[in-house]
Structure 1
Amino acid sequence: MSAKNLSNTSRTNWEALEEMEDEGIDYSDIPPLTAEFFDRATLRIPAPQAQRLVQIDPDVLKWFQDQTGEHRALINSVLRRYIEGGGEHSSV
């Protein structure tokens, strides 16, 4: 990008857009999303975000949060020890 392009300012009237009601927005140039679109769609989650998608029961999370130190590191440490120990547990 050239320095000339960086010095251009937007000619968008942001104040008018902020005051616009939803009914005033023209969607005519946007095709509707069909069931076929969603059937073919793929959810893509960046790896750093995907690492935070594990669901933990609220009471379990609270227990880890109540411990001293960083609860995420503690959870990771407990899981790592479980894996390194063969991952065997009578209730799992």
Structure 2
Amino acid sequence: MPTKESNIVKRTLDPKKPPQLSAEQKARLDALASMPDEQIDYSDAPSLPAAIWMKAAADLPHTKRQITLRIDAEVLDFFKETGKRYQSRMNAVLRSYVEAQKTHAK
């Protein structure tokens, strides 16, 4: 019998091919979507920085510097799967985070 080194199961989600939802899952999502935000329990949601980094600016300044940066493989793979100019999108996310932190610090 083969032995496992770990009990960790890794799964990859392709954003272009989301998993099919069951009727029960769809019903739960519909019920949640119809609830007011005040009634939704967010206690198990991971905390995020006070940044709207998902809405990173598309127009970026052209004053960039080339550096060497170590990025988690999963993060790099995610951005590479989004297509050409993935490095610009990574920069946009980081820029948005920085701007949010500057605003939050004031």
TM-score (norm 2): 0.33
Q: Which has the higher helix share?
A: 1
Structure ID, larger Rg? 1
TM-score (norm 1): 0.37
